[in-house]
Amino acid sequence: MRWKRTVFLCLAALSGCPDNPGRDPPRDQFFFPIAGAVDAEGRWLYVVNSDFDLAYNGGTVVAVDLDRVRARAASPEARGCSPDTDAPGAFFCDESPFIPRPDQTRRISPFGVDAAWVRYPAAGRDRLYVIVRGDGSLTWFDLNRAPDGSRDDGALDCGNGGDPGGACGASHRAGVDPVQGLRNDVLPPDPAALSVDETQGWITVVHQSTDPNLPRASLFRDPIALAGAGQSAAPQLMNVVGQLPAGLSSLALVRRGDRSRSTWLATSRSEATFTLLQAYPGSGPLQDARPFLYRAALAPVQGLNTGANSRAVALDPAPGSNRAYVVSRSPEALLTLDLTDLNRPAVTEVLALPLGPSRLTALTAEVDGAPRTLVFVVSYDSRRLTVIDPEARRVVTRLQTQRGPHQLVRDPRGEYLFIMDFLDSTVEVLRLRPNMAVSAEQRTRCPDAALCRVLTLGLPSPPVVNR
């Protein structure tokens, strides 16, 4: 895709790009969806469209109404949708009816990378954070709130001045202006992933650059997480960290141990190492209020061949578990990590995955009447969703997806799984059965099988060279 970008940039330059505002992106469609986040009630799915081919003058964040999605998924009738011949009982549906608030679609810079939804109960606020590579920003949104402060379900406010479909304002793009940073830093290039500790307001970002002179981790703090912060509090860049392994690709917040120091486990797509990052909150007794992020430990990936290309990490959601799961491309496998000694994560299992694994999520499901952790992995290159029972070390089921599955988002209600299909510009809706153990016969049919696609939002539209 890089060459396409080059072509378009050259064409844009030749056409006198600086004076051409470009074409506004659609407000009710997906185009190269790259990330997603869902709120705690499972009401809204926020999809980040990356505008990867620069067909428009920006990407967007759209809010998908999940109540409408559930209602549609529950209905066996076509109702304006077309049958999905690859998944009996499933449909392709135009995504527009599921984006009921196109006026709330917000334009961001191209190349959004990752997103996270966070609730701050003390402040009564829900926020969405999106890391955007195009303008090097942490773009943030206040959710479900009208400009006058009243509740407005489905609203997104990113300082766009009430302009429907407008671009997010500078006030909601942190990390761009060095003056705003605690140490006059700006967000380094090539962000890859973010992770939020809502209890402290930390927003940690890792960067996948291989330039040894560039920082590869950043820390923001959103003061709205702290008691007494004003309603207009905004995230601020605390510091950036250099001398870290190249190609940091993903993060997982480790919620155990000493909570005075938030700790993240980071993977690398370039080196066979795991990195532990910690946030130092300052010292009250010493009146030191200058938090920063630092590298707490480095641990080599041992016990397998190379291990130098890890793409995503997720912790085991089972209470008290010391496990984590890592998607590796070298080898192409799901790694199980033992985090008993956090400074020395140990690879304990290696299970083969289809070609090109990219992202994963872990959830607790009922299997044969007992709660089990299941790991769902999408493989971008081979269009597969693989469900693995890591305890039994076996594949529970496999599913063919649309093209370019990149990101997985769980439904908090436990009923569905959403897949952002980057290449087809769709969002798939998969139903999870509460009991994953079904008969062999049932496994061949949908929608009664344990996991099946019920909807694809958006009509598959593969990348086009010339638009």
Q: Binding-site residue total for other proteins (CB under 8 A)?
A: 53
Instruction: Evaluate whether 249 touches 265 at the Cβ level (below 8 Å).
Output: no
Name the percent of the chain in helix, strand, coil, to the closest 5. Answer: 10, 45, 45
Pairing of strands 151-157, 137-145: antiparallel
Q: Give which of 358, 355, 351 is closest to 374, Cα–Cα.
A: 351
Nearest distance in Å: CB 22, other proteins = 42
Nearest distance in Å: CB 253, other proteins = 15
Determine, following the binding rule CB under 8 A, whether residue 202 of this chain makes contact with other proteins.
no
Q: Which of 444, 445, 462, 467 binds other proteins (CB under 8 A)?
A: 444
Nearest distance in Å: CB 343, other proteins = 5
Nearest distance in Å: CB 398, other proteins = 7
Instruction: Evaluate whether 416 touches 396 at the Cβ level (below 8 Å).
Output: no
Q: Which of 344, 356, 364, 366 binds other proteins (CB under 8 A)?
A: 344
Question: Segment 47-106, which members bind other proteins (CB under 8 A)?
Answer: none
CA pseudo-torsion sign 2, 209, 272, 373: negative
Determine, following the binding rule CB under 8 A, whether residue 397 of this chain makes contact with other proteins.
yes
d(CA 93, CA 113): 25
How distant, in Å, are the alpha carbons of 65, 84, 115, 429 from that of 153?
10, 32, 19, 22
Between 140 and 264, CB nearer to other proteins: 264
How distant, in Å, are the alpha carbons of 62, 63, 64, 380 from that of 128?
12, 11, 14, 25
Nearest distance in Å: CB 228, other proteins = 18
Pairing of strands 451-457, 91-93: parallel
Between 43 and 433, CB nearer to other proteins: 433
Nearest distance in Å: CB 260, other proteins = 6
Between 38 and 452, CB nearer to other proteins: 452
Question: Segment 254-313, which members bind other proteins (CB under 8 A)?
Answer: 257-258, 260-261, 263, 278, 280, 283-288, 290, 292, 294-297, 299-300, 302-306
Task: Name the β-bridge partners of 130.
Answer: 115, 139
Residue 338 tokens read as 């033992």
Between 21 and 284, CB nearer to other proteins: 284
d(CA 50, CA 59): 5
Between 8 and 292, CB nearer to other proteins: 292
Q: Give which of 263, 405, 376, 258 is closest to 314, Cα–Cα.
A: 376
Determine, following the binding rule CB under 8 A, whether residue 179 of this chain makes contact with other proteins.
no
Amino acid type, 115 = A
From the list 53-61, 98-106, 328-336, 420-428, the region that binds other proteins by CB under 8 A is: 328-336
Question: Segment 352-391, which members bind other proteins (CB under 8 A)?
Answer: 352, 354-355, 368, 382, 384
Mark 131-147 as b/e (b = at least 16 C-beta within 10 Å).
bbbbbbbbbbbbbbbee
Between 154 and 331, CB nearer to other proteins: 331
How distant, in Å, are the alpha carbons of 190, 200, 256, 317 from that of 423?
21, 36, 37, 30
Residue 447: Cβ within 10 Å count: 16
Nearest distance in Å: CB 235, other proteins = 21
Nearest distance in Å: CB 286, other proteins = 5
Between 250 and 309, CB nearer to other proteins: 309
Binding site for other proteins (CB under 8 A): 257-258, 260-261, 263, 278, 280, 283-288, 290, 292, 294-297, 299-300, 302-306, 330-333, 340-344, 346-348, 350, 352, 354-355, 368, 382, 384, 392, 394-395, 397-398, 440, 443-444
